[in-house]
Structure 1
Amino acid sequence: VSKFPGKRALYKGANPNLEFALFADGVAASDMYKVLSTPEGVDRAFAKLSELKPHLIWWESGAQAPQLLADKEVSMTSAWNGRAYTAIVNDGRNFEIVWDGQVIDYDYWIVPAGHPELALAWEFIKFASSPENQGNQSKYISYGCLRKGCDAYVDPKILPHLPTAPANMKNWLKSSTNWWVDNGDDMSKRYNTWVAKD
C-alpha cells in the first residue's frame, strides 16, 4: 500500500485469494500449488493477506468489484474480467486491468455416464467448444477462448481485453481444480474464520 495507497477490494472467498497472496509474496506460478500444498505455504498466504487486511473491503458478486472502483471506495480490486471489460468498454469507466499475476479458471461441460442422449450431448460440446464459436463468444463477454485457432475469430479490438491474449499471459496461473477439490473445504473454513476476525 505504500507504493499505491488506498483501500483494496477482494472477492470474499479463499479461491483465488490464496494464490494472489503468494504471487504478491514472490511465489512463481510454476511453484504455486507445491507451496500451497504445505502447511507453511498456507500460513505464508494468510500472513500476506493479513498484511493487507486493514486496507481491505470485500465483494461477493461480480457487479460489486467495478462499482467499488466507480464509487471511489477502493483504489484497486480483484475482479472477474468480464465485469471489468463491461465497465471499461460499455460503461466508459477509466479503469485499467493489470493482467500480471492473473489466475485463470475454466468451466467444464459434463455429460452424465449412461445419458440416453450421449451422442447429441457430444455434438453440442463439439459445437460449443469449436474455435469459431469460442472466438465469437467474445462479442458478448470478454472471457478468453481456450481452443487453438479461436483468436482468428476474435475481433482485433476485443482481443487485448481477453485474459488469453498473448500479451496478457506473461505471468499467469491456471487455477488447479484438483487442488481446490482436495483442499477447498479446509481453506474456505480457515479463510472465513480469518475474515471474521478483527
Structure 2
Amino acid sequence: MKKLLLQASALCALTYPAHAELTVMSWGGAYERAQVEAYNKPFTAETGIAVKMISSDNPAAPIKSMVDAGNVTVDVADLEFTDAVRLCDEGVLEEIDPASLPAAPDGTPAVDDFLPEAVTDCAIASMVFATVYGYDTTKFPDAKPATIADLFDTAKFPGKRGLRKGAKINLELALMADGVPAAEVYETLATPEGVDRAFAKLDQIKSDIVWWEAGAQPPQLLADGEVVMSTGYNGRLFSAMVSEGKPFAIVWDGQVQEYDLFAVPKGAPNKDEALEYIKFATSTKPLADQSKWIAYGPPRRSSQSLVGLFEDGKTEMAPHMPTNPANMGNALVSSYDYWVDHETEMTERFNVWLSK
C-alpha cells in the first residue's frame, strides 16, 4: 500500500496548468463509466486535471482522420490492439517509453508486470476483454446453449443471432463452432481452405443474423427480443445481467480475448498531461479498481489479487473475468499478427459475402 501511495504522490508533485483538461475518446456505456470511476475521478483528485469523455463506436477511425487533417482535439484514445499496432506503424500515435510506466508495488518493472504484448511502442493495455455470446434464458426453458457450436445451431436452438458486423472475431468463432480447436484457428485461417470453411459456417446462419456495430447493442437486442443469442463484450453482458437484472447467461466456450489500450494521437493538444494520465490509469491499483464497475480483467499481474467485489458490494468479480481459469477451457487469444496482415483482405471478402 505504501508503494501505491508513493506512485500517487509522484503525480501530485507534478505541476499542471490550472485550466488543464484532457479529452479521452472511448467506447461509451458501462465501459466508459468504469473508466470514469476508476481512472478519471482519482486522476483529477490527484492532479487537478479535469477529464472529459467522448464516445465513438470505434475511436480508431476518427483519431486517424484528425491526425491526417492536422486538427487533433483528442488527447487519449482507447483502441483495440490491431488498431493500436496499425496506427502506430502509420505514425498516427505518439511513442510511449515503457520505462516511464510505474513499477508494481513490489518494485517489478512495468514491462515485466504487464501480461505478454500488453505494452507496445505506442499504446499501453488497460484491460483484457472477451467477445463471448450471451442468450436470453427465458427463450430456452429446457436445454441451454453451452458451447460455441450452439451459437450456430439454429435447429436445436431456433431464433435470431446477433453478430458484430465485420470479419474479425466472426471467422474465428465460425471455425471453433465447426470443430477447429482454439490453438489451431489462426493456422487454419492462414489457408484459403480455412477461410472458405469459416465463411461456409457463417452461411449456415446468415439468414438469421442481426448485425450490430456498437458495444451497447447486443444487450439491447436481447432485451428487445430481436435476437435470442448474441455475441458481445463480456463486460456489457455482465452489466446487463447484474446491474439491470436481465435474464441473460454468458457462454464462455470459444471466447476470444483481446486488449484495449490507451494511446496518445500525434499532435494531441495536451500530450504531456495525456502521458501522465496513461501512467496513472495503467498503474496497479486503478487497473484493479476498474473491475469494481465492469467485468474486464486487469492486464497487470500485480493487479490480479486486488480484484474484489462489484459495486453492489456482494458479487465477487474474479469468476466473471475472461482470464479466470474456469472460463479458459476453450479460449482463443486474438492474433494481432494475423489481423494486421490480413484485415484488409478479410474485410473485402466479408463485404462481398455480406452483399450476396
TM-score (norm 1): 0.88
One-letter identity of the residue aligned with 2:185? M
- The partner residue of 1:164 within 312, 323, 347 is 323
For the 8 Å contact 1:145–1:164, the answer to whether it is kept is no
Hey, what's the Cα distance between the residues in 1 that align with 2:275 and 2:209? 44
- The partner residue of 1:178 within 323, 337, 346 is 337
One-letter identity of the residue aligned with 1:93? K
Structure 1 residue 31 and structure 2 residue 184: aligned? yes
- Higher fraction of helix: 1
Deviations 1:27-62 (A, max 9, x none): 111111111011111101000000111211111111
- The partner residue of 1:58 within 182, 206, 211 is 211
One-letter identity of the residue aligned with 2:320? H
2:253 equivalent in structure 1:
100
Hey, what's the Cα distance between the residues in 1 that align with 2:161 and 2:274? 43
2:348 equivalent in structure 1:
189
C-alpha displacement of 1:124: 5.5
Structure 1 residue 19 and structure 2 residue 172: aligned? yes
Could you say which structure has the larger radius of gyration? 2
One-letter identity of the residue aligned with 1:80? Y
Give 3-state SS (helix, strand or coil) of 2:250's partner.
Answer: coil
2:220 equivalent in structure 1:
67
For the 8 Å contact 1:9–1:78, the answer to whether it is kept is yes
Deviations 1:142-174 (A, max 9, x none): 212222242211125122222122211121111
Hey, what's the Cα distance between the residues in 1 that align with 2:261 and 2:214? 21
For the aligned residue pairs, the C-alpha RMSD in angstroms reads 2.3
One-letter identity of the residue aligned with 1:181? V
Determine what percentage of the aligned residue pairs are the same residue.
53
One-letter identity of the residue aligned with 2:343? G
Hey, what's the Cα distance between the residues in 1 that align with 2:271 and 2:227? 48
Deviations 1:106-153 (A, max 9, x none): 12345799xxx9998876555433332221111232212222242211
Hey, what's the Cα distance between the residues in 2 that align with 1:91 and 1:129? 28
Hey, what's the Cα distance between the residues in 2 that align with 1:118 and 1:80? 30
- The partner residue of 2:295 within 121, 142, 157 is 142
Which 5+ residue runs of structure 1 have no aligned equivalent? none
C-alpha displacement of 1:75: 1.1
TM-score (norm 2): 0.51
1:10 equivalent in structure 2:
163
Higher mean C-alpha deviation, range 102-111 or range 136-145: 102-111
Give 3-state SS (helix, strand or coil) of 2:249's partner.
Answer: coil
One-letter identity of the residue aligned with 2:327? N
C-alpha displacement of 1:191: 0.7
One-letter identity of the residue aligned with 1:137? Q
Which 5+ residue runs of structure 2 have no aligned equivalent? 1-153, 310-315
Hey, what's the Cα distance between the residues in 2 that align with 1:111 and 1:179? 24
Give 3-state SS (helix, strand or coil) of 2:285's partner.
Answer: helix
Hey, what's the Cα distance between the residues in 1 that align with 2:272 and 2:282? 15
Hey, what's the Cα distance between the residues in 1 that align with 2:348 and 2:245? 38
Runs of 4+ in 1 over 6 A off after TM superposition: 117-123
Hey, what's the Cα distance between the residues in 2 that align with 1:71 and 1:186? 35
Hey, what's the Cα distance between the residues in 2 that align with 1:91 and 1:111? 34
Equivalences for 1:88-127 in 2 at 5 Å?
Answer: 88-110=241-263, 125-127=278-280
For the 8 Å contact 1:144–1:163, the answer to whether it is kept is yes
Higher mean C-alpha deviation, range 164-173 or range 147-156: 147-156
Aligned residues: 195
